[in-house]
Amino acid sequence: MSGVTFLGTAGGRMVVTSQLRKSGGFWLSLAGKNILVDPGPGSLMRSVELGLKPANLDCIVLSHKHIDHSNDVNIMIEAMSGGSFRPRGILLAPSDALEGDDPVVLRYVRTYIRNNIKVLEPGFKYSLDGVGIEVAVRMMHANVESYGLKFTFDGKTLGYITDTKYFNGLPEAFKGCDYLIVNMVRMTHDARFEHLLPEDVIRILKVAKPRQVILNHFGMQVVKARPDAVARRIEKESRVRTIAGADGMQFSFDTGKAVTEPTISSFG
Ligand SMILES: [Zn+2]
């Protein structure tokens, strides 16, 4: 069984710090591998709450170092390695999350996974026992390194458009995806924040043409506009099936549908 569990769908500082929506990233279960993407604040608590076992993780991925994507990375590495007693798993992260003036991954925690860390960069490709993880394109997002990703499993491809502003070449980088998770933080343009708006998502979908899109990482403007309503508008204009992620939502990549009445996660 392959699917995703959204630990939280909060994006942007106000929604995360108020916990108007929960945060913590999303947990992929792909062909038997457990991959945690962007473990923001609450990732450990939300995983356990939803019945997911961090000690079963095989891989943690940071698309970029911003705190709403990385806050729980250290504790999740500790949990993945059984409190350091059972070293296992791998971390994939951009170089500025690991080195430089302001790394977010603690050095002593890195030893818990025997420094099994790979640096994301353009052209990056990795096989996690047959589950492919690759960089689709470098994003344009504030002053940090941010990477859009593609995961391949069971003959399918899942794309992840993390935080970025719109740029030429972005839609093309995600052609050929069956599923696409898109972080859409804002409704209106503001040059101070490099994020996608509904209009940007529609432009991307018209070119990338995935089978199904799940919107994620909602800032205050999107929460106020109601993510479900925004998803319906995007679907109508792009003609691509679109749903809004929700806290605790599980979506099956086998059936292409959300799992109904989710409580404890079926994945992982
Ligand atoms: Zn960010």
| 162-171, 207-216, 253-262: range with lowest mean pLDDT | 253-262
Q: How far is the CA of 56 from the centre of ligand 1 (A)?
A: 27
- Contacts of residue 226, defined as CB under 8 A and 6 or more positions apart, other chains included, come to none
Cβ atoms 238, 222 nearer than 8 A = no
pLDDT of residue 12: 87
Compute the distance from residue 128 Cα to the ligand 1 centre, in Å.
26
110 C-alpha to center of ligand 1: Å? 23
Beta strands in the chain (DSSP E): 3-6, 26-30, 33-37, 59-61, 90-94, 117-120, 125-128, 131-138, 147-153, 156-161, 179-183, 212-216, 241-244, 250-252, 257-258
Measured in Å, residue 191 CA sits from the centre of ligand 1 at 14
| Cα of 29 from ligand 1 centre, angstroms | 24
Q: How far apart are CA 221 and CA 226, in angstroms?
A: 9
Å from CA of 141 to ligand 1 middle? 7
Domain ranges of the chain: 3-122+131-258
pLDDT at 261 over 80: no
Unique residue bearing structure tokens 């279960």: 29
Return the amino acid letter for 81: S
52-101 pLDDT per residue, tens: 999 999 999 999 999 999 999 999 999 999 999 999 999 999 999 999 99
Give the whole-angstrom CA distance, residue 231 versus residue 254. 22
d(CA 268, CA 34): 6
pLDDT at 193: 85
- Distance (angstroms) between ligand 1 centre and the Cα of 198 equals 17
Give residue-wise pLDDT tens across range 121-156.
999 999 999 999 999 999 999 899 999 999 999 999
The model's confidence at residue 191, banded by pLDDT at 50, 70 and 90, is confident
Query: Ligand 1 centre and the CA of 142: distance in Å?
Result: 8
What fold is seen in the domain 3-122+131-258? Metallo-beta-lactamase; Chain A (3.60.15)
Quick check: 165 pLDDT over 80? yes
Q: Strand 33-37 and strand 59-61: pairing?
A: parallel
Ligand 1 centroid distance, CA of 66 (Å): 5
pLDDT (tens digit per residue) in 194-237: 999 999 999 999 999 999 999 999 999 999 999 999 999 999 99
pLDDT (0 to 100) of residue 262 = 58
